[in-house]
Amino acid sequence: MGAYRWLVTSFITPTTDEKIEYTDEEIRTDAATGSARLKWVVIVDRSLPAGSAVNAAICVAASTSPDIPGLLGPGGRDASGTWHRGLPWAGCSVLGAEPAELAALRQRALAQGFHVTAMPAAAQATRVYDDYLAALARTDADDLQLLALSVVGPRNRVAKLVKRLELLP
């Protein structure tokens, strides 16, 4: 667990005092997603095969949601009484980018103090998590081949960061 926390926090280097979280007062499940103060995007290497792209997106999203208080909405029951866990109430766009763009987007997002989770290629190239951590430890941050990013930050600034990217087909 200790190595895992290091991995997650090593990608988060806030440069502002702005907290990347929702307060209880901001959680508006009765409003359109575009009214939320924060914007969440997942950016995936568009050259990946579908299965690898979906895996990368799911992994960075799973790593992001516990770190952002208020990101997930409340759960609810369907008409037959079955419980369904909460989903991101403010939405999440999944965008595609060229492989070379991912590193630049990561750097720009970190420089703006956004919450950033990255998935290096080594995560899909290994089948043992400790082997992934060892590969990560041998690779400089600037040399990581990134497969996906998860970025959460102030809506207008995240929108500006990703304005030329398109939804992943």
- CATH code of residue 148: 3.40.1490.10
Looking at the chain, how many residues does it have?
169
What pLDDT is recorded for position 17? 56
Residue 113 resides in a domain: yes
What is residue 164's three-state secondary structure? coil
What pLDDT is recorded for position 18? 65
Residue 65 resides in a domain: yes
**CA dist., res. 129 & res. 39, Å (int):** 30
- The parts of the chain modelled with pLDDT lower than 50 are 1-15
Alpha-helical segments (H) within 82-138: 99-111, 122-125, 129-137
Domain extent for 141: 2-13+33-72+84-167
How many domains would you assign to the chain?
1
**Is the C-alpha dihedral spanning 59, 63, 93, 163 positive or negative?**
negative
Contact 106, 117 (CB under 8 A): no
By C-alpha distance, which of 104, 101, 117 is closest to 40? 117
What pLDDT is recorded for position 19? 78
How does pLDDT run across 108-118, given as a tens digit for each residue?
Answer: 999 999 999 99
Residue 124 resides in a domain: yes
The dihedral over CA atoms of 110, 116, 122, 126, expressed in degrees to the nearest 10, equals: 160
Residue 121 resides in a domain: yes
Residue 54 resides in a domain: yes
Residue 138 resides in a domain: yes
Residue 18 resides in a domain: no
What pLDDT is recorded for position 157? 97
Exposure of 30 by Cβ count < 10 A (0-12 exposed, 13-18 middle, 19+ buried)?
Answer: exposed
Q: Which residues contact 118 (CB under 8 A, 6 or more apart)?
A: 11, 60, 102, 106, 144, 146, 148, 149, 150
Residue 24 resides in a domain: no
